[in-house]
Amino acid sequence: MSLTGKLTMSSQATKLAVRKIKRLDYRVMSSTKRSSSFEAHSERQKPSKGGRKQMRTIRKASPKQKDDDLVEDKHDSEQNEAKDDFSTEIISRDPREEPEKTSDQGEAYAALLTLLKAEHGSKRSVPKKSEKEAEAGSEDDAQDLEPEHGEEYEESEEAAIEHGLSNEKEEDEENEAEGIEDGSMEDEEDKADPLEKHFNSVSEKNIDELDAAFKSRTIRYRSTKLPVDQSQEFIYSRPTLPNDSLVAPPTRSQSLDSYFIKQRLKIQNDLMDSNGDKLTPLQKQILDPVFQYQDLLYEYDNYNKESEYRDLYTLHVLNHIYKTRDRILKNNQRLQDNPDQELLDQGFTRPKVLIVVPTRDVAHQVLTKIIEKSGIDQVDKKGKFKDQFYQNSTTPSYKPKSFKHVFQGNTNDFFVIGAKFTRKAIKLYSNFYQSDIIICSPLGIQLILENTDKKKRQDDFLSSIELLVIDQLHSIEFQNVLHLSSIFEHLNKIPQQQHDADFSRIKMWYINDQAKLLRQTLIFTRHSSPFANSLINGKCKNYAGRWKNHSIVSSDKSSLGQLGMRTRLVFQRFDLAGNSAIDEPDYRFKHFCSVIVPNIVKSTGYEDGILLYIPDYTDFIRVRNYMREKTSILFGDINEYSEQRQLNANRSLFQQGRIKVMLYTERLHHFRRYEIKGVKTVIFYKPPSNPEFFEETVRYLGKSAFLGVADLNISVVRCLYSKLDGLALEKIVGTERAAVLTRGPNETYEFK
């Protein structure tokens, strides 16, 4: 058969071939053990174009003695749960048998990888390297994955053998063997369990059709609104095929009694009795989307409510981890009785949950809550974790409440940490490929995914993530949002190496590169934004649908209603002339140059004390260059990259009136919250993404008036906006007023 013929093989034939190789790979390894270390091969096999031919010619390896496997398995004592007890006596290996077994397993994975690339297309090239380089690289990467704690995973072969025979490993295996609690044999397979329904009972045909529709861009989202009260409504959307009928929203019980929670979690968290009354209103709103494995974008209205949604999603995370691990252990026992069964219960790699947070302090809060709810007392390296992530520090008392909340404790934003769960212990700082949960900051994981040294780049540990949580997105947005977008690009990709995967037990939707259609994504933010909507709408493709809440802001609760001062506020709209959002920055800049700058030059109010607030840094550079090259206005600028000396000098010159205009970026305001003195006029180049920033900036006028520097009857606040700024305007002026501002006939609206 020609290469072209191979690449055009039908999807059904490919799936049958994959099943064959899974069974064959299983038989090759069943006489030894199911998860032998891929890094221990004497020579890494390279994927060839004749993948299907290789499948037909793979030979069955001769049986090996069981004790050899105990020597080889030095990395993950968790992957051999409930296996037969191995003898502790080491039997010397025949070096002539090793290449045959290595070659067969290598050919099996190479053939499968060729099939996957032929079916889905090769999206990235991987430099070829020898097995010695691959093994050394994997050891180096294991160290690089956790740059903060300096853990060393490199071991000699002798040390690995000693570790494999140590009491610690035997205890781990015993713990795993005990990991199946009473009654789990029945409740794990209950078809009413949302986990079983979402991941294990999904129709392969439906997933194939949705996958094809996403790729051909014929997918359609059908939505419905569910009012909660006068201040909030939920919007449920689900992907459908063009000919599908209208979508009914899922049932909402708003009670934990409707869901299967592991017994140990119920006991630990006092959930044995009826729980309906114990849930807060916020928890009742998000309970069903979370436990039904649907995507969620939730905007909460108070920083004090963060502990409420964390209580819920950490319980969900633990429930998911316990159930998936117990299912694997149970199937291990079944396979001992009947090795020919086809039990699909695994992904390519072990990590199942990824939690993204902005700072170490938030990571400490989340992981501490997970430990408390887990019911496990023994936590390895807990002291080290507290030393590196906890910091008892406070912010200055005169800073706003939101600043104190975001920047409390350890604000370091460079970290990645793995957590591995066994029956009796939680192992922090575990190797990523042995972890169940990975908690990271966008910057920390970015330096792994996009390392400047291409040999150290890797993302295989993200290939089997089934639950993604993004906590405090509003704070992450003031870091580098490209890092967060990069995480989505690396999630659920087919790995480049085997990583001890047992292909006889990998679910078909993993092999078919469809894991993104089943992954659940939970996003929590204090303030919804266009970027948050772009994540839930563009990066999340969960076949179960998605939820997002919409807050209805009354005029009293808007920023204008909370100002506590009366001054002139002017909102000026510029027209996009029917163009797309891509052209919006250009039209905003043209309006600024043609309307705002002449008003500054020929001002009828104050000639100095003009604060120009610019949310986006690229807009800031553009405006600064224009004012420097095209105008004669005396201005200064302070931004997040300014040196402290420049910040102090320009603030002093502005207060003294020696510079007329001060350019001020939103990120600088977020990180410093300076008290800018001498402000007499405020111009917003764009509505602030955080409505609290609008209030804080406008109050500079009130402080100037209190000091007798400005008169509120003469001072003015001016804000440029377009119809695309409706989300930010809702929080500033209220939902009803925002609709008038974005859709009304006038271009200028004034409030007093």
pLDDT in tens, 279-320: 999 999 999 999 999 999 999 999 999 999 999 999 999 999
Dihedral sign of CA atoms 51, 72, 417, 320 in order = positive
Give the CATH number of the domain where residue 582 resides.
Answer: 3.40.50.300
Q: Indicate if 441 and 468 belong to the same structural domain.
A: yes
378 burial via Cβ count (<10 Å: 0-12, 13-18, 19+) = exposed
Q: What's the mean pLDDT in 185-203?
A: 74
Pairwise pLDDT comparison (91 vs 202), residue with the higher score: 202
Helix (H, G, I), strand (E, B) or coil at 492: coil
Total count of domains within the chain: 2
Q: Residue 383, Cα to own-chain centre: how many angstroms?
A: 27
Lowest-pLDDT choice from 173-182, 487-496, 541-550, 611-620? 173-182
Amino acid 579: pLDDT: 72
Looking at this protein, which amino acid is placed at residue 615?
P
Q: What's the mean pLDDT in 33-45?
A: 38
Domain assignment present for residue 702? The answer is: yes
Over its C-alpha atoms, the chain yields an Rg (Å, rounded) of 29
- Is 450 within 8 Å of 457 (Cβ atoms)? yes
- Is 687 within 8 Å of 574 (Cβ atoms)? no
- pLDDT at 647 > cutoff 90: yes
Domain assignment present for residue 20? The answer is: no
Q: What's the pLDDT band for 249 if we cut at 50, 70, 90?
A: confident
Pairwise pLDDT comparison (6 vs 369), residue with the higher score: 369
Lowest-pLDDT choice from 33-37, 329-333, 563-567? 33-37
Q: Indicate if 338 and 400 belong to the same structural domain.
A: yes
Dihedral sign of CA atoms 60, 61, 65, 68 in order = negative
Amino acid 287: pLDDT: 95
- Measured distance CA(198)–CA(210) in Å, rounded: 15
pLDDT in tens, 578-628: 777 888 999 999 999 999 999 888 876 788 899 999 999 999 999 999 999
Domain assignment present for residue 414? The answer is: yes
Amino acid 182: pLDDT: 44
Domain assignment present for residue 44? The answer is: no
Q: Indicate if 520 and 397 belong to the same structural domain.
A: yes
Domain assignment present for residue 113? The answer is: no
- Final residue of a domain: which of 537, 552, 567? 552
State residue 594 phi and psi, 5-degree precision.
-90, -25
Amino acid 340: pLDDT: 86
- pLDDT at 540 > cutoff 60: yes
Amino acid 108: pLDDT: 53
Q: What is the DSSP string of 309-341?
A: HHHHHHHHHHHHHHHHHHHHHHHHHHHHH-TT-
Amino acid 522: pLDDT: 98
Residue 237 belongs to what domain range?
Answer: 191-552
Amino acid 176: pLDDT: 54
Domain assignment present for residue 513? The answer is: yes
Q: What's the pLDDT band for 67 if we cut at 50, 70, 90?
A: very low
Amino acid 164: pLDDT: 27
Amino acid 459: pLDDT: 92
Q: Indicate if 479 and 617 belong to the same structural domain.
A: no
- pLDDT at 179 > cutoff 60: no
Q: Indicate if 567 and 546 belong to the same structural domain.
A: no
564 burial via Cβ count (<10 Å: 0-12, 13-18, 19+) = exposed
Q: Indicate if 367 and 428 belong to the same structural domain.
A: yes
- Final residue of a domain: which of 552, 578, 594? 552
Q: Indicate if 511 and 575 belong to the same structural domain.
A: no
- pLDDT at 689 > cutoff 80: yes
Mean predicted lDDT score pLDDT of the chain: 79
Amino acid 498: pLDDT: 84
Domain assignment present for residue 217? The answer is: yes
- pLDDT at 162 > cutoff 50: no
Paired with 416 in beta bridges are: 440
- Final residue of a domain: which of 552, 573, 592? 552
Amino acid 90: pLDDT: 32
Q: What's the mean pLDDT in 165-179?
A: 42
Q: Indicate if 472 and 610 belong to the same structural domain.
A: no
Q: Indicate if 283 and 378 belong to the same structural domain.
A: yes
CA distances from 381 to 3, 34, 175, 428, 429 (A): 53, 30, 19, 6, 8
The share of the chain scoring above pLDDT 90, in percent, equals: 59
Q: Indicate if 636 and 496 belong to the same structural domain.
A: no
Lowest-pLDDT choice from 236-250, 432-446, 641-655, 691-705? 236-250
Amino acid 604: pLDDT: 63
Q: What's the pLDDT band for 78 if we cut at 50, 70, 90?
A: very low
Q: Indicate if 277 and 355 belong to the same structural domain.
A: yes
Q: What's the mean pLDDT in 441-457?
A: 89
Q: What is the DSSP string of 61-99?
A: PPP--HHHHHHH--S-GGGGTTPPPPPSS-----TTTHH
CA distances from 64 to 70, 332, 459, 561 (A): 12, 20, 33, 77
- pLDDT at 53 > cutoff 80: no
Rounded (to 5) percent helix, strand, coil in the chain:
45, 15, 40
Q: What's the pLDDT band for 106 if we cut at 50, 70, 90?
A: low
- pLDDT at 658 > cutoff 60: yes
Amino acid 253: pLDDT: 85
- Measured distance CA(572)–CA(596) in Å, rounded: 10
Beta carbons within 10 angstroms of residue 154's beta carbon:
11
- pLDDT at 8 > cutoff 80: no
Q: What's the mean pLDDT in 245-269?
A: 86
Q: pTM score, two decimals?
A: 0.79
- Measured distance CA(362)–CA(368) in Å, rounded: 10
Domain assignment present for residue 531? The answer is: yes
The share of the chain scoring above pLDDT 70, in percent, equals: 74
Q: Indicate if 373 and 475 belong to the same structural domain.
A: yes
